[in-house]
Amino acid sequence: MVLRAQYAQPFKAIYLCYSFCKLVAFNIPYWLLINAIPSNRPRPSWSLRKSLSVKAFHWAMGIILRTGELQVMPNHHRVESNSNGVWINAAPEHLFDDDLRMWLSVAQVKPCIIPGYYYTRHSAPSHTNARKIVYHLHGGAYVTWSASPACTDAARIPKGYLTCANTVSSVFAPEYRLSSINGKGCFENPFPAALLDALAGYLHLIEQGYSPQDIVLSGDSAGAHLALALCRYLLQATRKGLATPALPSKLILLSPWADFGFSHQESYNSVKITDYLRDYDFPQSAITAFLGPHPRSMLEESPYISPASLSFFEEDHIGLFRDFPNTFIAVGTGERLLSSQRDLAKLMRRDMGDDKVVMYEAEDCVHDYCAFDWEEPKRSQTFAEIDSWLTGK
């Protein structure tokens, strides 16, 4: 994670040693004891493995927040070797509208080249158009994870498309810049850096000969948030007369993080026992790094930042999602973000029509469940549902 660490060397090593000893000597035995009885688990349907995995992931998020990543994570500075990676050209400035130029100026962000990674099948898929590709934006709260196959959790989603969705022949994932706060307290790569890079990756596919009808846009968690922002920008820029390409043919949102403000804070706090997402420190630190020097009012008022804000149910915001691609939203009913995700679906259906938006809810699954193998078989079942939706079955 690239947030500013609370503990630096040599205290980091001491803190990690203490935390791991406590994990082994106390946390794990306690979790085993409590969760041995199904009725004591966060949800009775959960297996012991899943219950312990959710606890461990919640614990790990707290550790990483305080110390930084425990391993070197691939980033936008270089293409990983033996990973089917390429360089993506920076987005050209003639496609920037006035809003984007203003955000770039405030954030002191400039276009740059970034890596991108192709995921492909070992064998040709059946009954599919070989030019159809999923353009996937990874999750990680804009502060962690990677598009590279070396990031195991994030890579499970591109691999899930290839394994479980017969209509998908390949996936392309851009290594967009992550937001952070450096040791001097300065913001690095805040909004709209990731949006700029997502646009660059989309243009890369167009330059490679894919038409927008060939491309299915996908994102998980913060990546789903970014996918919504990319669609919004493409529409807005086109309406202003810029030569941006058409929108992708379809949109897939996996556990979208769609409200960075506080309009859903009460529901977020009401289901904390069934998810690994933390109460305050992690989401707020990530939001602070992502928003950077922009005014906090954007958290409630900007559809780029909080597209599911309750304020957008007001009459003067009708049409916010008009002309968006047909959309498949997959969420877990154990998510802390479930209320905002359901409201996102309502807003999209209001503007697009009920038949244009599919809301798929996986019973008792946690946030971003498609990234975790301990959410099988519901993870694979979700990709199968997406496959049926893509083929119109």
Q: Is 83 exposed, middle or buried (0-12, 13-18, 19+ CB in 10 A)?
A: middle
| Cross-strand pairs, 297 | none
b/e sequence 175-213, b meaning 16+ C-beta within 10 Å: bbbbbbbeeeeebbbbbbbbbbbbbbbbbbbeeeebebe
Spatial distance between the Cα atoms of 246 and 235, rounded to a whole number of angstroms: 8
Q: What is the DSSP string of 193-218?
A: HHHHHHHHHHHHHHHTT--GGGEEEE
Active site residue 221: yes
Q: Which of 51, 170, 180, 221 is catalytic?
A: 221
Extended beta strands in the chain, E state: 85-88, 114-120, 133-137, 170-174, 180-181, 187-188, 215-220, 250-254, 326-332, 357-362
* Calculated CA dihedral for residues 275, 278, 280, 285, nearest 10 degrees: -130
Backbone dihedral angles phi then psi of residue 220, each to the nearest 5 degrees: -120, 135
Q: How many residues in the chain?
A: 393
Catalytic residue ranges: 221
